[in-house]
Chains A and B, each alone.
Chain A
Amino acid sequence: MSDTAADKAFERTYQLPYLLGVFMAVNAVRDACLVVDSPNCAMVKADLIAGNHDLFSTLLSPDGRHRVVCTMVTPFTPQKNPESRVAAILNSIAGSGEFGAVLLTGLPFGWLAGMDYDGIAAAVPPGTPAAAVPAKSMDLDWLEGYDLSLEALARCLRFPARPRRAAGKVAIAGYMLDRNEFDHAANLKELGRLLALAGLELVSVWPSGGGVAELARAAEAALIVSLPYGRRAARTLAGRTGAKLLETGLPMGLGGTSAWLAAVRKAAGLKGGPPPALAEAERTAAAALAPALRVLRNRNVLFAGDPHLYSAFSSFAAELCMGVPAALLGSSSRELGPSAKGAETVLFAPSASEAKSALAALPRYRKPDLAAANSFAVTEGFAEGLPFVELGFPSYGHHCLLDEPYFGYAGARVLAARMLNALQAGLAAPSFRERGF
């Protein structure tokens, strides 16, 4: 084996672990607690989120009311019945009355040892809902971890006995709330606003950063809109509540948002075209971003992040007359949504060297002018020298202390403005100048 091959064998890949997705889902439900049957090394996943990506995270707390805890079990922990220890911890946390729901999962060795996490969670005395998230770290990635955690909540949550269901009420399931900052708060505000203009009421978002009580309001919805980050959860919710299920992509960009709203309206049984106020909101947003187009059009954007966001982003880029010549996707390989416009290069979980080689191989006029990417794309050197808009998980270098949506019409304006500003700021950068712009 050559040195190069040896190096490749150990190269880190642009990929994130399953448990991280589980932590993210718990982070997104204010009063949820996660018990991980593991040694304390699993807790390091919290570091990828709390305080670094999400300044508002409450996963960890100095007073010990952590929302992620571990059992400190190892294969060496001498226990005649290891399940009793996990059950004791889970029951105690559920019985503390501090949490709206408790989830249980474990490291792969727990699963291999046949730990019956499902059964342990189901045996928690009535009171706080509890469910197990399958311990699938060796099989699935972070996006699956997120989905399966939401699905576990959808299985165990108690809904009101007689929810006030109405035809115009809608719930969204499978939103990626990777942090409790104002980018997501603004996204949800915008979706609520647009659905209201469309004649619908958004009663619950899974997850929204709120508590379990807010999730339970999904029972009022006559329609569950399934976003790609929580397909399983949405199916379970619809199955449990009897609501109609609509699977969509992400409402990004002007056209993307309009198409999304039209699909939701149709599924909700509303007839006719969009209400005038909605059409006006779209026109207003278009007018606001039009001046930016002369700078944005015909620019090439490198995308690096999650595949669902890529599908929506590439569609938005096309709307702005921008190209996405390369997409580096930080997940296991999966089918991309129908809105994904074909980039020359789409790599799932590439190693750093694969990604760099692919970017270097892009034809001269397809080299990126700008990167819309997460923090790891920067630290791995994918976006070296490029003007940069930090987007998606993780965003360690860009925090939102005020509304900064990227979904809906308002999101289209904000995201276009961010790309415009990054490009304009980049004009002053030597590396950019050297490349002849």
Chain B
Amino acid sequence: MESIVFFGKGGIGKSTIAANVSVLLAAAGRKVLHIGCDPKRDSTLALTGRRIKPFSDGGFAGAAALDGAVHKGAKGIDCIEAGGPQAGVGCAGAGIGAMLDAVRDSGLMERNAYDTVIFDVLGDVVCGGFAAPLRRGFTSKAVIVVSEEILSLYAANNLVAMINNYARNGVYLAGLAVNAKDVSAVRQAGEFARAVNTRVLGVIPRDPAVGRAEKVRKPLVLLDPRSPAAGALAGLTREILSSKKPSSPPRMMGEREFESFLGGAGAPSAPAAAGRPAPVSPGALLEGAGFSVTGLLGGQVVCGWKKGGDACKIFVAPSTEVRPGMTAVSDWAFCFAPGEEPRGDRAAFEAAVRGISALRFEDFVAAFSGGPDFYGDADSFGRTGYHPRLPEGDRPIDQHTGFGQWHRFVFSDNSGVCVPPGTVIVEHGDIECRFSSCSSTLLNTFQKMGGLSNDQAPSMAPFLPKEGSTVMNTDFGYGDAIRGDERKMAERLSAVSARGSAGGLLEFYNGCTPLLLSSDVNNFLEKASRDLKMEVLRDNFNNFEDATPGKVRARAALVVRRLAARRRTKPSCDLNLVNFASSKALPLAELLAGRGLSAAPPERDFYGDIAASRLQVLAYPDPVLTTAFDELGIKWAAPPAPYGFAATEAWLRELFAGLGRKPPRGGPGPSPSESARHAALSKRLSRFAAGFIASPDEIPTLEGTWAVSGVPMFSLLREAGMPVRLFAYARDKAARDLAVKEAGLLGKRTGVKPRLSFFDSPAGLRRALSADRVMRIVYSDIPGDARLAEAGKNDFSAAMCEPGYEGTIETMRRLANLCEWEFNERYGRR
């Protein structure tokens, strides 16, 4: 089967040419399918004599929508029009993609055994959707229609790049069809063809017969086959059919080159193929010049270079992403890796760069096929590797998706930010969003977080996403994408209104698909704000728990409004544990009750409990709550978390102080029985050591990765009488020096002097861990971390720690059990 796609700037006769080529092929006995890929649906006007019902009228309902969309045209040609949304809404490109998927999925082309498929694609190709006919299995030849208009050549130049991009699918540019009014235009088109390394397939002269045929909606080659234009169309068709894949691909002119071309310079003197790499393969060229591609880093290619005794390492970036300090070469630029410049004469290196200057950026990427240290070098697939660079305080950008990198053993906090009742979260997204949005993005079986605000109850298996009074998804679908989502948004916001959330806060999160389509949500949200009498806040993606300043302000204002609206009552409780996980709040409430302090029952009535309590106790100083409390003059405290006996006593003392009351006689400390059990467990634990693994810049975060709600692990272990080992990842002296410094500072802060050792590879770490027989437990936030089991060790983490006196005793009991547990020692070792 032959398939031909016609591209070109709008309004220069593309549809006329495509329709007539279809007729000529059908007249020659071919079975032809003609597909119009333009929402205007005028490609088949001449073939059918009318506007046919487009595919889009079938609701884009997959293959079923094709049933009513195939229409017979002149000479038995089957015609389809993709159709599309009303201008200015939805996504016509997506509609074309949907139609082609339906054509493929329904087996239409095979079933009807077409000899030829003609695609007529709308004017300027503005997004990937309009390139859909170039996907695998559809098109083999592309023809660009040009005219005397400069902008038609400009469009053609861009189309060359697009067609080359899809060359991997077997598509090639057959050449240009010139729809020109005079000889000069034909000459210009010919010069353009030479400049971009293609050819002119045919020239259609200006002919009044064309206009006559359009008027009566008939194909010219049938209405007036003897007209000059009809003859030219027949010639063009023959040329298209006989065209073969060119030996060298066409080449898009750069902007300056194109401007110079238009300036009258004609075809550049350099041959079109000059910018392309030499016939040597990119890999061989690189190797010959002394380069080896060793990895990908943040979208850049990492290259080593070696010549004689000299060597260096460079980062290569595409020219679209050049940074200051990089040297531009071709469509790529390079800079030296820090401290990796050539030591000797740079002339050899510069000569080597000249030798590979013909390469394109994609050649570097193609040359990368893993390396001896693939897992060490490649970290472009996520942004947190073993060596965390924490640009914003202690929060890594992404904790779990890096590929080919060791995961850190200690993750940072994921406490989030309070979503006060009265907030309605509407996520404008599809079903995939729905299954991503309603819980935090941490993977609960892969990463367990501890601390006061994290619930680690065993029943953490996933649920179907919650859709309730506070979180909802708009169920954005195919039709919304193609036809526009205004109706869907209106319907959903009306449903919010019916919930009677007046005075509340509506947070509207735009998902990826509506973002891509630039849905006009602002207009809707303004209306929603008026109609619903709610404050409206817009954000993107499902960042419900990101504490942006605007979000903090809006949520705090909601808390203020709701609390201010309540009638002041006499407090009935001493304390209110506000943002604690329920598994932590319950035992702490018991602890407080034992010391004569009453606490509001957890998760009863958010605003009522605040109003009914003398002091608000926060697991961490949530910015929403602290802002609101400060504004209303509500007393609050967020003392360091009560993990360990000393920390628990300090926590209690701070709460008594906050209430302005004295602790009970004898102080708020542990009972004699609790102290005795603590001492017995300390004795049991002191026979063992606990280990931590970190890179030097991670060491400061080890004492509880966040200041308040986290577990002060080093202090807890010190109190339990356990020595601590610290294994630092350090490949050079500078890293070792930094680790020594940071470990010293950590020791000063916590009173624990860890025994420091170093490793520089996974195998090295395994050896170091295995060799230490006293150390039985090693910290990891990944439960059952196989890297530790393989060394015969058991993992422990903050998720195992419980607050309060009884909680501390239970934590120590768990640690002791782990220290004495031999399963991994006996069966886990590798």
For residues 203 through 262 of chain A, which have their beta carbon under 8 Å from a beta carbon of chain B? Answer: none
Is A12 part of the binding interface, using a Cβ–Cβ cutoff of 8 Å? yes
State whether A116 touches B461 (Cβ < 8 A): no
State whether B787 touches A63 (Cβ < 8 A): yes
Instruction: Choose from B435, B464, B481 the contact partner of A108 (Cβ within 8 Å).
Output: B481
When each residue 453-475 of chain B gets 1 if its CB lies under 8 Å from chain A and 0 otherwise, what string results? Answer: 00000000111111110001100
State whether A88 touches B431 (Cβ < 8 A): no
Chain A residues near B541 (CB, 8 Å)? 39, 41, 74
State whether B443 touches A47 (Cβ < 8 A): yes
State whether A17 touches B434 (Cβ < 8 A): yes
Is B270 part of the binding interface, using a Cβ–Cβ cutoff of 8 Å? no
Is B821 part of the binding interface, using a Cβ–Cβ cutoff of 8 Å? no
Is B401 part of the binding interface, using a Cβ–Cβ cutoff of 8 Å? yes
How many angstroms between the C-alpha atoms of A46 and B444 in the bound complex?
10
State whether B443 touches A118 (Cβ < 8 A): no
Chain B residues near A5 (CB, 8 Å)? 495, 498
State whether B495 touches A113 (Cβ < 8 A): no
State whether B464 touches A380 (Cβ < 8 A): yes
Binds B, one of A48-56, A189-197, A428-436: A48-56
A122 with B169, Cβ < 8 A, contacts A44-B435, A88-B380, A116-B128 known: yes
- Which single residue of chain A is at the shortest CB-CB distance from B385? A64
A112 with B368, Cβ < 8 A, contacts A6-B499, A40-B401, A42-B432 known: no
B447 CB to nearest chain A CB (Å): 10
B400 CB to nearest chain A CB (Å): 7
B contact residues, range: 35 or more
State whether B381 touches A137 (Cβ < 8 A): no
How many angstroms between the C-alpha atoms of A91 and B293 in the bound complex?
13
How many angstroms between the C-alpha atoms of A394 and B430 in the bound complex?
22
Chain B residues near A136 (CB, 8 Å)? 101
Is A119 part of the binding interface, using a Cβ–Cβ cutoff of 8 Å? yes
Chain A residues near B492 (CB, 8 Å)? 9-10
State whether A111 touches B97 (Cβ < 8 A): yes
State whether A47 touches B430 (Cβ < 8 A): no
B163 CB to nearest chain A CB (Å): 12
Is A62 part of the binding interface, using a Cβ–Cβ cutoff of 8 Å? yes
State whether B435 touches A20 (Cβ < 8 A): yes
How many angstroms between the C-alpha atoms of A290 and B403 in the bound complex?
53
Chain A residues near B441 (CB, 8 Å)? 40-41, 43-44
How many angstroms between the C-alpha atoms of A136 and B432 in the bound complex?
11
Is A335 part of the binding interface, using a Cβ–Cβ cutoff of 8 Å? no
Most chain B beta-carbon neighbours within 10 Å: one of A2, A11, A87, A96: A96
State whether A43 touches B400 (Cβ < 8 A): yes
Chain A residues near B97 (CB, 8 Å)? 111-112, 114
How many angstroms between the C-alpha atoms of A196 and B516 in the bound complex?
54
Instruction: Choose from B365, B444, B496 the contact partner of A91 (Cβ within 8 Å).
Output: B365
How many angstroms between the C-alpha atoms of A139 and B105 in the bound complex?
13
- Which single residue of chain B is at the shortest CB-CB distance from A1? B498
Chain B residues near A7 (CB, 8 Å)? 499
Is A283 part of the binding interface, using a Cβ–Cβ cutoff of 8 Å? no
A125 with B374, Cβ < 8 A, contacts A14-B464, A52-B445 known: no
A116 with B368, Cβ < 8 A, contacts A3-B499, A76-B515, A84-B362 known: no
How many angstroms between the C-alpha atoms of A108 and B439 in the bound complex?
21
State whether B368 touches A113 (Cβ < 8 A): no
Chain B residues near A127 (CB, 8 Å)? 369
Is A72 part of the binding interface, using a Cβ–Cβ cutoff of 8 Å? yes
For residues 783 through 824 of chain B, which have their beta carbon under 8 Å from a beta carbon of chain A? Answer: 785-787
Is A276 part of the binding interface, using a Cβ–Cβ cutoff of 8 Å? no
How many angstroms between the C-alpha atoms of A83 and B135 in the bound complex?
13
B130 CB to nearest chain A CB (Å): 7
State whether B473 touches A10 (Cβ < 8 A): yes
A113 with B128, Cβ < 8 A, contacts A41-B542, A89-B381 known: yes
A112 CB to nearest chain B CB (Å): 4
- Which single residue of chain B is at the shortest CB-CB distance from A46? B443
Most chain B beta-carbon neighbours within 10 Å: one of A63, A79, A138: A138
Most chain A beta-carbon neighbours within 10 Å: one of B443, B472, B497: B443
- Which single residue of chain B is at the shortest CB-CB distance from A73? B512
Chain A residues near B165 (CB, 8 Å)? 81, 83, 116
Chain B residues near A318 (CB, 8 Å)? none
How many angstroms between the C-alpha atoms of A396 and B463 in the bound complex?
10
A114 with B512, Cβ < 8 A, contacts A1-B494, A43-B443 known: no
Is A109 part of the binding interface, using a Cβ–Cβ cutoff of 8 Å? yes
Is B478 part of the binding interface, using a Cβ–Cβ cutoff of 8 Å? yes
How many angstroms between the C-alpha atoms of A44 and B401 in the bound complex?
10
State whether A123 touches B168 (Cβ < 8 A): yes
How many angstroms between the C-alpha atoms of A85 and B321 in the bound complex?
12
State whether B405 touches A64 (Cβ < 8 A): yes
- Which single residue of chain B is at the shortest CB-CB distance from A127? B369
Is B330 part of the binding interface, using a Cβ–Cβ cutoff of 8 Å? no
State whether B464 touches A114 (Cβ < 8 A): no
Chain B residues near A108 (CB, 8 Å)? 430, 432, 481, 512-513
Is A298 part of the binding interface, using a Cβ–Cβ cutoff of 8 Å? no
State whether A72 touches B382 (Cβ < 8 A): yes
Chain B residues near A44 (CB, 8 Å)? 435-436, 439, 441, 443
Is B5 part of the binding interface, using a Cβ–Cβ cutoff of 8 Å? no
For residues 88 through 134 of chain A, which have their beta carbon under 8 Å from a beta carbon of chain B? Answer: 88-89, 91-93, 95-98, 107-109, 111-116, 118-120, 122-123, 125, 127, 134
Chain A residues near B365 (CB, 8 Å)? 84, 87-88, 91
Instruction: Choose from A11, A114, A116 the contact partner of B127 (Cβ within 8 Å).
Output: A114
Is A66 part of the binding interface, using a Cβ–Cβ cutoff of 8 Å? yes
A309 CB to nearest chain B CB (Å): 18
How many angstroms between the C-alpha atoms of A70 and B369 in the bound complex?
19
For residues 529 through 566 of chain B, which have their beta carbon under 8 Å from a beta carbon of chain A? Answer: 540-542
Is A19 part of the binding interface, using a Cβ–Cβ cutoff of 8 Å? yes
A138 with B477, Cβ < 8 A, contacts A17-B432, A41-B441, A48-B462 known: yes
State whether B473 touches A114 (Cβ < 8 A): no
Is B503 part of the binding interface, using a Cβ–Cβ cutoff of 8 Å? no
State whether A62 touches B515 (Cβ < 8 A): no
State whether B135 touches A96 (Cβ < 8 A): no
How many angstroms between the C-alpha atoms of A89 and B404 in the bound complex?
11
How many angstroms between the C-alpha atoms of A382 and B465 in the bound complex?
16
How many angstroms between the C-alpha atoms of A201 and B738 in the bound complex?
62
State whether A10 touches B467 (Cβ < 8 A): yes
Chain B residues near A6 (CB, 8 Å)? 494-499
State whether B495 touches A112 (Cβ < 8 A): no
Instruction: Choose from A39, A75, A89, A134 the contact partner of B101 (Cβ within 8 Å).
Output: A134
- Which single residue of chain A is at the shortest CB-CB distance from B409? A62
For residues 10 through 25 of chain A, which have their beta carbon under 8 Å from a beta carbon of chain B? Answer: 10-20
Is A80 part of the binding interface, using a Cβ–Cβ cutoff of 8 Å? yes
Instruction: Choose from B296, B366, B398 the contact partner of A40 (Cβ within 8 Å).
Output: B398
- Which single residue of chain B is at the shortest CB-CB distance from A52? B461
Instruction: Choose from B130, B381, B542 the contact partner of A114 (Cβ within 8 Å).
Output: B130
Is B407 part of the binding interface, using a Cβ–Cβ cutoff of 8 Å? yes
State whether A12 touches B465 (Cβ < 8 A): yes
Instruction: Choose from B136, B369, B407, B540 the contact partner of A119 (Cβ within 8 Å).
Output: B136
When each residue 407-420 of chain A gets 1 if its CB lies under 8 Å from chain B and 0 otherwise, what string results? Answer: 00000000000000
- Which single residue of chain B is at the shortest CB-CB distance from A2? B498
Is A376 part of the binding interface, using a Cβ–Cβ cutoff of 8 Å? yes
- Which single residue of chain B is at the shortest CB-CB distance from A4? B498
A33 CB to nearest chain B CB (Å): 9
How many angstroms between the C-alpha atoms of A79 and B298 in the bound complex?
13
- Which single residue of chain B is at the shortest CB-CB distance from A97? B370
Instruction: Choose from A19, A38, A95 the contact partner of B368 (Cβ within 8 Å).
Output: A95
Is A375 part of the binding interface, using a Cβ–Cβ cutoff of 8 Å? yes
Is A293 part of the binding interface, using a Cβ–Cβ cutoff of 8 Å? no
Which 9 A-B residue pairings sit nearest by Cβ, starting from the closest? A114-B128, A51-B445, A95-B369, A6-B498, A396-B461, A41-B436, A123-B168, A10-B472, A69-B403
User: Could you list 17 A-B pairs, sorted by A, with CB under 8 Å?
Assistant: A6-B494, A6-B498, A12-B434, A17-B431, A51-B446, A64-B406, A83-B165, A84-B362, A87-B365, A92-B369, A107-B432, A113-B516, A114-B93, A114-B129, A118-B135, A379-B464, A396-B462
Q: A65-B404, A74-B541, A379-B464 known; 6 other A-B pairs, CB under 8 Å?
A: A39-B541, A64-B405, A74-B512, A95-B368, A107-B513, A119-B169
